[in-house]
Amino acid sequence: MEEYMDTTKKIIMIIIVSIVLIRTNQKIFKWILKKQNKIHINFLSGIITACIIFIAISMIGMQFENTKEIFKSILKSSGLFVAVAGFAAQQTLNNIISGLMLSVAKPFDIGERVNLVNSNITGIIETITLRHTVIKGFDNQRIVIPNSVINNEILKNSNYDDSVIGNYLEVTISYESDIRKAVSVFDSIIQNHPLVITNEYHNPGVIVKDLTETGIVLKATVWTKNVSDNFQASSDIRMEIIEQFKHAKIEIPYKKIELISRKNEIKKRRW
């Protein structure tokens, strides 16, 4: 009976210590992530938590005579354990290894906008765990993708090696409008917006993209520090274009429907 109570106390102590260590680990990494929200830091937190849980389970198993030798053998023969665990949970292990590779290679980071070409998924990287990566779509829905899938994907990263976001903006003007004035006004609107970044590497670069049956298509690039700023800046610029083009007598062509009354003809047919 005394031996049973002693074993119970040890197990309770192991559980309490494990919970304290996991909570401490989470708090420390939460503090670090506030300072530096990087993908490898997020993944490392998950690895440490998994190690604490594995050690705790092993120590609990060693408290019982029936399982003591088994857990001792597992800890001593770590290579054999990895091989057995890998065979039993190949997909899970694949996700963990893929997550580790993504964490080291860092093709993207937390808060960056990515596009998974093969899966046709676009969104902002929100977090990465041992098993999966969470992407927040532009409709605010969360997309949970296994790390092994992302590791084999073709990625488009708007922030890779450059945190500035570029978005194309197009406007069509009529053939009767003053094209040089339109280019000048378009360029000025973009450059004067407070959220737009303009320097020798990032400038609007207004060009004539195309000549269509409806008019002349002008194209420029709006550069901002992040995706949210880009959406806001692009919206503001479109509104400003409508106002300033109207003031400068630059026409934006649009389809018109002409209604012709045929009442007389209808009456004749009736009679």
- 171-196 pLDDT per residue, tens: 999 999 999 999 999 999 999 999 99
Interatomic CA distance for residues 125 and 153, integer angstroms? 15
User: What pLDDT is recorded for position 131?
Assistant: 80
pLDDT in tens, the chain (271 residues): 566 667 777 788 888 888 888 888 778 777 776 666 566 666 677 778 878 887 888 778 777 776 766 666 655 555 555 555 555 456 666 777 787 788 777 788 777 788 888 888 888 888 888 788 899 887 778 899 988 888 888 888 866 655 677 888 999 999 999 999 999 999 999 999 999 988 877 888 899 999 998 899 999 999 988 778 888 999 999 999 999 999 999 999 988 777 776 655 544 444 4
For residues 182 and 9, what is the distance between their CA atoms, to the nearest angstrom?
Answer: 81
Instruction: Say if CB 51 and CB 59 are below 8 A apart.
Output: no
Instruction: Identify the pLDDT of residue 120.
Output: 86
Q: Which two tokens stand for residue 226?
A: 């992040």
Which residue from 69, 42, 47, 44 is spatially nearest to 58, judged by alpha carbons?
A: 69
Q: How many CA atoms lie within 13 A of 102 on its CB side?
A: 31
115, containing H or E segment = strand 113-116
Q: What Å distances lie between residue 86 and 182, 224, 254, 262, CA to CA?
A: 64, 45, 62, 80
- Which residues, at least 6 apart from 81, have a Cβ–Cβ distance to it below 8 Å? 74, 75
Tokens of 191: 């450059």
Tokens representing 164 are: 């500035």
In angstroms, how far is the first alpha carbon of the chain from the final one? 112
Contacts of 46 (CB under 8 A, 6+ apart): 99, 129, 130
Residue 148 near residue 184, CB atoms below 8 Å: no
Say how far apart CA 206 and CA 182 lie, in whole Å.
10
| pLDDT value of position 182 | 94
pLDDT number for residue 220: 93
